[in-house]
Amino acid sequence: MKNPLYRAFIKAGEQAGYGYTEDYNGYRQEGFGRMDMTVRDGVRCSTAMAYLKPAMNRPNLDIQTHALTTRVIMDGKTAVGVEYRQGGKTLKVRARKEVILSASSFNSPKLLMLSGIGPADHLKEHGIEVVHDLPGVGQNLQDHLEVWVQQECTQKITLNSWLGPLAKAWIGANWLFLKRGLGTSNQFESNGYIRSRAGMKYPDIQFHFLAGAIAYDGSSAFKGHGFQVHLGANKPKSRGWVKLKSADPEAPPEIVFNYFAEEEDKEAFRAGLRWTREIFAQPALDEYRGKEVSPGPDVQTDEQIDQWLAETAETAYHPAGSCRMGTDAMAVVDPECRVHGVRNLRVVDSSIMPTVTNGNLNAPTIMIGEKAAARGGLVHHADGHQRQPQRTDDHDRRKSRRLYPRPHPAAQRRAQLRPRRLAKQPTRQRSRKKRLEPRGLWELACKRKAGKAGRQDPRGLVGAAVRKGSGILPGASLPFAGGARSHKVRSHKAGSRHPQ
Ligand SMILES: Cc1cc2nc3c(=O)[nH]c(=O)nc-3n(C[C@H](O)[C@H](O)[C@H](O)COP(=O)(O)OP(=O)(O)OC[C@H]3O[C@@H](n4cnc5c(N)ncnc54)[C@H](O)[C@@H]3O)c2cc1C
């Protein structure tokens, strides 16, 4: 946040009455504040870097690259493996327990349909044998749209002065050799969340602020100095779908978002533009504000705003919801991510979200992976997947026993003997030792057991889904390796008062 414009934007949000939020992922989403980034040591930290790389040496992890999964192999209504193409060959991998699809909101429904799970009529159109008629597969597709509101800047402090070839080379060299400078940031360093209208239970408008005036993909920039805010209405009512174009796994699916099919979606953007102008008009931006560049002062009426939306709104790359979680007839997965009507098959990615989040999608998708690994990987549902998750004390006891198996009886006996040998020590120290010793042995026993099973961490058990040969898609197992960290995410979410 070296550039003063980022702080000025936050201040302007406060002056407009929305307040400051310390942590928009925490108890209070509404307000203006700094933007979190998944950047580590100046490099954007993808799930591959954060989860897969540290787990690469695990003997129970097998990664196949340059591979295209073509279908899930079904034995009746049970998933038993996956088929994939690699180097011109068609290969199969058997699943010992389960198959987990994690191929995104476009490709998870596509793979389900290629495997005979989806709307029966649509599958028959493409000559695919129906394994299970599941009408919701591919439906309920949602996305975030966004537009930019650009403002001229009266001071020469914006990113627009860094767009020349020499400046870019300087940024590149600084980043490459020193991991410093502008190259270490995604440039969206402050943001805000507000409600588009009274009566909303949570903020539905999101702002990403940029200290420059330039197209998202860098293709066109304002000639001069400017700043902009990316305005997004995050709770669209419009729904689209993903369908098969053909039964050929290499053919891309047909994707229709139906953006702005619902009038309410336009209303949210119209309100969003008016609130943006109000925020930009606050005193905190007085010393920087020039004239409005986009959409421009002439765009005022609903019709004019709609026209501007139609011309400029673009995807924020947040597709979600095409394999919706739920228990009704149109739901695709149950609350444990298991595909309805078939066995041993889960979907764990952004496609299971019932509605798109009212914030960015990457972290919630990782959370889905962590949560599924922590719960699904542990709970063995031998008697059918339709059972509701058990949350009884009994369940927790069995779960914790699997995480921390009882020590070997000999280790237990040694633990019981140990306090007697400490008899001569002062009372306070002795009682502390008494408490700690058995636990130490117990943990040692856990580690040994985990070691024998080829796991690095006893809690790594929850990463069972990445077990060698378990049929995970390449590139799909990313969130699972981090199962041991799921407690962090749970406590974090528990603190949130806003539905995400
Ligand atoms: C350009 C861009 C910028 C973004 N910026 C942000 C951002 O700043 N913040 C944010 O929160 N979100 C951002 N997102 C969104 C975020 O990346 C996604 O929401 C998130 O990655 C979704 O995760 P997923 O697991 O559902 O799908 P993906 O991350 O797409 O993972 C699916 C994986 O499955 C693999 N796969 C698919 N089909 C097959 C197959 N048949 N065989 C083998 N492998 C297959 C794919 O190669 C991919 O690796 C951005 C997205 C894009 C495209």
Sign of CA dihedral 302, 305, 307, 309: negative
Residue 482 has pLDDT above 90, yes or no: no
Residue 388 has pLDDT above 60, yes or no: no
Contact status, residue 151 vs residue 227, Cβ threshold 8 Å: yes
Between the ranges 215-229, 270-284, 404-418, where is the mean pLDDT highest? 270-284
Q: 477 C-alpha to center of ligand 1: Å? A: 12
With the most atoms of ligand 1 within 8 angstroms of its CB, the residue from 107, 191, 242 to mutate is 107
Burial class (CB in 10 A: 0-12, 13-18, 19+), 261: middle
What is residue 407's predicted lDDT score, i.e. its pLDDT?
58
With the most atoms of ligand 1 within 8 angstroms of its CB, the residue from 110, 185, 317, 325 to mutate is 317
Q: Which of 136-140, 155-159, 386-390 has the lowest mean pLDDT?
A: 386-390
Binned at pLDDT 50, 70 and 90, residue 409 comes out as low
If you take atom 39 of ligand 1, which residue's CA is the nearest one? 103
What is residue 391's predicted lDDT score, i.e. its pLDDT?
43
What is residue 220's predicted lDDT score, i.e. its pLDDT?
84
With the most atoms of ligand 1 within 8 angstroms of its CB, the residue from 219, 362, 366 to mutate is 362
Q: 329 C-alpha to center of ligand 1: Å? A: 27
What ligand 1 atom has the least distance to the C-alpha of 68? Answer: 42
Residue 255 has pLDDT above 90, yes or no: yes
Strand partners for 346: 100, 338
Binned at pLDDT 50, 70 and 90, residue 339 comes out as very high
What is residue 157's predicted lDDT score, i.e. its pLDDT?
95
Q: Which of 304-308, 398-402, 432-436 has the lowest mean pLDDT?
A: 432-436
Higher pLDDT, 372 or 437: 372
Burial class (CB in 10 A: 0-12, 13-18, 19+), 473: buried
Cβ of 350 below 6 Å from ligand 1: yes
Nearest to 75 by CA among 381, 345, 387, 466: 345
What is residue 476's predicted lDDT score, i.e. its pLDDT?
28
Q: 214 C-alpha to center of ligand 1: Å? A: 24
Cα–Cα–Cα angle for 410, 413, 416, nearest 5°? 155
User: Which residue in the block uniquely carries the two structure tokens 């690259």?
Assistant: 65
Please state, in angstroms and rounded to a whole number, the distance separating the CA atoms of residues 483 and 460. Answer: 7
Using only C-alpha atoms, what is the Rg of the chain?
Answer: 26
What is residue 374's predicted lDDT score, i.e. its pLDDT?
87
Q: Is 29 helix (H, G, I), strand (E, B) or coil?
A: coil
- Residues 403-431 have a mean pLDDT of 52
- Give per-residue pLDDT as tens, 63-122: 999 999 999 999 999 999 999 999 999 999 999 999 999 999 999 999 999 999 999 999
Cβ of 10 below 6 Å from ligand 1: no
What is residue 312's predicted lDDT score, i.e. its pLDDT?
95
Residue type, 457: D
- Residues 132-145 have a mean pLDDT of 98
Residue 215 has pLDDT above 70, yes or no: yes
User: Cβ contacts of residue 405 below 8 Å, gap of 6+?
Assistant: 445, 446, 449
Please state, in angstroms and rounded to a whole number, the distance separating the CA atoms of residues 263 and 283. Answer: 34
Strand partners for 338: 346
- Residues 243-255 have a mean pLDDT of 97
What ligand 1 atom has the least distance to the C-alpha of 364? Answer: 11
Cα–Cα–Cα angle for 180, 185, 187, nearest 5°? 135
What is residue 31's predicted lDDT score, i.e. its pLDDT?
97
Cβ of 473 below 6 Å from ligand 1: yes
Cβ of 108 below 6 Å from ligand 1: no
318 catalytic residue (yes or no): yes
Cβ of 107 below 6 Å from ligand 1: yes
Alpha helix positions (H), 244-375: 263-280, 302-312, 362-375
Binned at pLDDT 50, 70 and 90, residue 304 comes out as very high
Please state, in angstroms and rounded to a whole number, the distance separating the CA atoms of residues 380 and 484. Answer: 18
Binned at pLDDT 50, 70 and 90, residue 218 comes out as confident
Contact status, residue 158 vs residue 288, Cβ threshold 8 Å: no
Residue 30 has pLDDT above 90, yes or no: yes
User: Which residue in the block uniquely carries the two structure tokens 């993808």?
Assistant: 46
What is residue 3's predicted lDDT score, i.e. its pLDDT?
95
Contact status, residue 121 vs residue 85, Cβ threshold 8 Å: no
User: Which residue in the block uniquely carries the two structure tokens 């077990």?
Assistant: 467
Average pLDDT, the chain: 82
Residue 4 has pLDDT above 90, yes or no: yes
Residue 433 has pLDDT above 70, yes or no: no
Question: Strand ranges (DSSP E) for 65-160?
Answer: 67-75, 78-86, 89-94, 99-101, 117-118, 132-133, 145-153
Residue 486 has pLDDT above 60, yes or no: no
Backbone angles phi, psi at 124, to 5 degrees: -65, -40
Cβ of 475 below 6 Å from ligand 1: yes
> Hey, what's the torsion of the CAs at 272, 274, 277, 279, to 10 degrees?
-60
CA distances from 265 to 159, 204, 307, 311 (A): 31, 11, 14, 15
- Residues 271-284 have a mean pLDDT of 98
CA 100 to chain centre: 16
Tell me how far apart the 2 most distant CA atoms of the chain are, in Å.
88
Please state, in angstroms and rounded to a whole number, the distance separating the CA atoms of residues 319 and 104. Answer: 8
What ligand 1 atom has the least distance to the C-alpha of 111? Answer: 41
Of the chain, the percentage scoring pLDDT greater than 90 comes to: 70
Higher pLDDT, 443 or 369: 369
What is residue 53's predicted lDDT score, i.e. its pLDDT?
92
With the most atoms of ligand 1 within 8 angstroms of its CB, the residue from 25, 318, 351 to mutate is 318
- Give per-residue pLDDT as tens, 151-196: 999 999 999 999 999 999 999 999 999 999 999 999 999 999 999 9
User: Which residue in the block uniquely carries the two structure tokens 């201040």?
Assistant: 11
Cβ of 365 below 6 Å from ligand 1: yes
Please state, in angstroms and rounded to a whole number, the distance separating the CA atoms of residues 4 and 263. Answer: 38
What is residue 1's predicted lDDT score, i.e. its pLDDT?
82
Higher pLDDT, 428 or 374: 374
Q: 2 C-alpha to center of ligand 1: Å? A: 30
Q: What is the pTM of this model?
A: 0.78
Please pick, among 318, 340, 408, 498, the residue that the annotation labels catalytic. 318
Q: 185 C-alpha to center of ligand 1: Å? A: 20
What ligand 1 atom has the least distance to the C-alpha of 479? Answer: 25
> Hey, what's the torsion of the CAs at 37, 494, 356, 351, to 10 degrees?
90
